[in-house]
Structures are given as C-alpha cells and as structure tokens.
C-alpha cells in the first residue's frame, strides 16, 4: 500500500482538531518547505524519522539494459534517504 498526499491530509485531519482545509494547508506547507530546502542543496533531518541528503553524482559509464550498448551517464544531483535508527528498528520489529 502507498500513502498518498491525500491520505496524509486525511490522517492529519483525523488525528488533529483541525479542518480539512487547515490539514491540507499544513501538509502543503511542510512539503513546500522540505522541497525548498532540498532544492537549495541543504540536507533535511527529521529526528526519529531520517535524513534526506543532496548528493552530487559524477559522470560514469553505464549500459543500456535492453541492448547492452555502453553509454556515458551524465553528472547529476540526487536525493538519498537514510532512516533513523528508531525508524529502522520499528520497521524490523
């Protein structure tokens, strides 16, 4: 099962004493702030949840999996996620 933004809004609405509009605004504000942080190249640490890190990947050799042809993959910026120890322990039981 995948948790969507609409599901997240609904869970905030159910668990807090706020209107649906306020729940939507809260979720949208959190996502906007988080995206802005990562777009600016900053890392995002959410205690008890994990850390989103912006990393630069260098140009490298790769291959097309369908044809096997070699090609060069361009340098790019990626976002990685490392779960906190608390989250990792809860997932693993």
Span 58-81, pLDDT tens digits: 999 999 999 999 999 999 999 999
Q: What angle do CA 68, 69, 73 make, to 5 degrees?
A: 110
Residue 93's pLDDT is 87
Q: How many domains does the chain have?
A: 2
**CATH number, residue 79:** 4.10.520.10
- For the entire predicted model, the pTM comes to 0.79
Domain interval for residue 4: 1-42
Residue 45's pLDDT is 97
Q: Is residue 17 located within the same domain as residue 50?
A: no
Span 2-48, pLDDT tens digits: 999 999 999 999 999 999 999 999 999 999 999 999 999 999 999 99
Q: Is residue 3 located within the same domain as residue 33?
A: yes
Residue 21's pLDDT is 96
């Amino acid at each position: 099962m995948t948790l969507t933004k609409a599901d997240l809004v609904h869970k905030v609405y159910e668990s807090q004493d706020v209107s649906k509009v306020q729940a939507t605004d809260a979720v949208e504000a959190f996502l906007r702030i988080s995206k802005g942080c990562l777009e600016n190249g900053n890392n995002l640490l959410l205690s008890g949840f994990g850390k989103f890190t912006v990393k630069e990947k260098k140009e490298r050799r790769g291959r097309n999996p369908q044809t096997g042809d070699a090609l060069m993959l361009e340098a790019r910026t990626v976002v990685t996620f490392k779960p906190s120890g608390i989250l990792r322990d809860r997932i693993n039981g």
